[in-house]
Structure 1
Amino acid sequence: MKTLAKHLAALSIGLCALSAGASAEELDVMTSGGFTAAFKQLNPAFAQRSGDTIHTVLGPSMGQAREAIPQRLERGENADLVIMVGYALDELIRQGKVDPASKVELVDSRIGMVVKQGAAKPDIATEEAFRKTLLNATSLAYSDSASGVYIQNQLFRKLGVEQAVAPKAKMIERIPVASVVASGQYEIGFQQVAELLPVPGVTFVGKIPESLQSVTRYSAGIPCNAKHPAQAKALLAYLSSPAAQPVIQATGLDSIPR
């Protein structure tokens, strides 16, 4: 925590370069789950130094739920910046809703695993060890987002355990997977690392083997009808800056080489 505090302090100092004379605005930022923890830690320093107020709206990157970012934009809700799964942002660009020139790739997000706090940490260091852990588990939970769809439709099949785990595996809708592991409803849970780490009552086991990973890239862009595109561009530059990377990595995300 001390290290993270130092990183945040350094970011705050670095933001002194922002123009103190610029008029303050209220920015509407829509972000999906994988980047939420990082954004919550990064945006206060930007707001303090820029003078802008940031109003954050959370929602899935895709889907038909009312809260989903594409649905919000379709209803005409204002957004100065959207942060979401890269291919979902590309679809909004294709539809003419986001300025293609504004797109910035922010981070990569990998899948991790948790167990209930106090439980033994299973071995998932290799494909074979991971396979045995899945077979030995009494129950498995995974998300209803991109990572969970990959686990259900591809990962189990790759490991040859699809039929064996089907009766004990469950896709969890809407709520964090780690929460149902913390409550003891499921023995192990899978979701993007950045969405597992903030949840109390669980122990983070680690990322699944790299050979089995499905890496989700998060990108951001400025909607074509944004009210404050200049301020949004400054925020986006800040989020993708080298100085922001230690904070981003501390929340379980992986920096993109630039």
Structure 2
Amino acid sequence: MPAAAPSLAFADGKILLTRPGGGVGLVTFNNPDKRNAMSLEMWDGLGQALVALRDDAEIRVVVLTGAGDKAFVSGADISQFEQNRHNAVASEAYAQRSAAQRALLADYPKPTIACIRGFCLGGGLQIAMLTDIRFAAPDCQFGIPAARLGIAYGYDGLRNLVSLVGPSQARLLLYAGMRIDAAEALRIGLVDRIMSQDELLPATLDIARTIAGNAPLAVQAAKITIAEVLKDESRRDMAAIKQIGDACMDSEDFREGRRAFMEKRKPAFKGR
């Protein structure tokens, strides 16, 4: 069995990439002194980590989490606002610099899971909403404080929020700038499961390894098809759905899955 690839650090150590095994890559927001608030450098580092894991054939699922137990990501680094977001032109330049990383996560070819502890606010919530699945600890706090800061929350973030919780709950969160706890987030569909603080990361990694152990083309087919279902009917790429479906049926993994079932053993999928 090949040796595990070394851990990597980006953004002066504020973004960490580790490989905990089982086909899983782990990205950690490592700025606990600021409750993992995102600086521009951290956005750049996040993109570098995601590209590294995307291009690693051994990695099939990516988990995102925050260092410590105080925050996933508490939002943007407010200390950079005076320099980088002091007016509309500067704010647009700031948004453009992080846009590539958000787009990368939005269209990521591998399943992604957010493992959330503590504060998950503003841009941090946007990151979580861009992942496929969100697991949370009971003490989490979610919110979008844009109205309290005098800034507008972007279209992409709002589109994802509305798709998860609906327009009325999105209005309540945005208009009031209120925070909600994990139980309320689960009730309205913002997160998918609540786990205890101690079991959250181990259980998340176990689920990630379960996904990684399934046929990669079949998982990819589910990811692609669900993404198309969420689009307006006129914008759906039905050809892409058929293409990935045909690829599954013609794959070595489909044959391996049938053989493993008949032989009552665990399949060894190769993603082809």
**Which TM-score tier does this pair reach, normalised by the shorter chain?**
under 0.3
- Normalising by structure 1, what TM-score? 0.25
Q: Which has the higher strand share?
A: 1
Q: Which has the higher helix share?
A: 2
Considering Cα pairs closer than 8 Å and 6+ residues apart, tell me whether 1 or 2 has the greater RCO.
1
